[in-house]
Structure 1
Amino acid sequence: MKQWMKAAGLSLVILSSSFYAQAAEAAQKVGYVATSQAMAQLAQRYNVPEKLRNEFKDRIAELRGIEGSMKTKVEKMKRDGELMSSSEKTKLQREMQSLESNYKLKAQALQEDQRRRGAEEEQKLVQKIRQAIQDVAKREGYDIVVDANAVLYASPKDDLSSKVISAVK
């Protein structure tokens, strides 16, 4: 009976070690992608900065026009200020203050809209990159794909960056 118990115990040890060996053998295939590099290249490919510039060019031109008006009024005040009556000076100063407050308000709204639209475009690129990573990982048989910034060392053969960039539609 003792031999039988020893044999059963030994077989349990062998069986459990084979499970661990199979688990180690079935280790997941891990790849990595330089997402920041992919984002930069794809932003250039899709010409995101130019697209945003074109979208806001009218508002930027309007702000430049206000700047020009402000500059003209400041020059007029410097040049003719001493010759102007106090009511003319007051009127010019109020116009300058009105232009300045209008400029600040429009500039702040423009910056906020540009930031929001930039984030929207970035989010679109992120979604495209995620989809491409999933497609490449499935096609290449990778179980896990991580960002290259999180990897201390990995084999260059597991770098999926170029494949992901070319897979983005």
Structure 2
Amino acid sequence: MKKWLYAAGLGLVMASSASVMAADKIAVVNVGQIFQQMPAREAVAKQLENEFKGRATQLQSQEAALQTQMQKLQRDGSTMKASDRAKLEKSVMAQREDFSAKAQAFEQDNRRRQGEERNKILGRIQDAVKTVASKEGYDVVIDSNAVAYAADAKDITADVLKQVK
């Protein structure tokens, strides 16, 4: 039974490699380079920065206020009444928890939005790769970062970059 499975697996590998070898026109594209050179990437980065600027400023001021409260507690805690110190400690703990929750929500929202925008840009790049490949008649297009060596492959990065811009 094991020999039969090995033979079937070997047959599948050979069949799939034969289809790749049968591809007459193979091209490579450097998606990372295109992503870095896209003017839309910088515009999106500025848009996201503006989108989150208010929340970031608010978090920074909340952090500064929390630091001030903590310093006051350290500095004056030993000379305060026990009830005042307990109130201040409780206040500091509540502020710390609130800040932590807001900071975590901010990071998640920021990461989610960056992912959404990155996926939009990568979708545009992929559409441009498909357009260039079909226009020039390529059977297979591989990301140059995913390939160790490609001697006869045509690099279509510049063509795709022109298509995307």
Provide TM-score, normalisation by structure 2: 0.78
Q: Which residue of 2 aligns with 1:95?
A: 91
Q: Which residue of 1 aligns with 2:161?
A: 165
CA contact (8 A) 2:124 2:164 kept: yes
CA contact (8 A) 2:55 2:106 kept: yes
Q: Which residue of 2 aligns with 1:141?
A: 137
- RMSD over aligned Cα, in angstroms? 1.9
Percent identity between the two aligned chains: 38
**Which of the residues 17, 29, 33 maps onto 2:29?**
33
In the TM superposition, what whole-angstrom CA distance separates every residue of 1:125-151 from its partner, at most 9, and x where no partner exists? 111001100111122222221111233
1:124 maps onto 2:120 in alignment: yes
Q: Which residue of 2 aligns with 1:46?
A: 41
5+ residue gaps, structure 2? 1-21
Report how many residues are paired.
143
CA contact (8 A) 2:23 2:139 kept: no
Give, in whole Å, the separation in 1 of the partners of 2:67 and 2:152: 57
Give, in whole Å, the separation in 2 of the partners of 1:78 and 1:107: 24
Provide TM-score, normalisation by structure 1: 0.76
Q: Which has the larger radius of gyration?
A: 1
Question: 144-153 or 106-115: which moved more?
Answer: 144-153
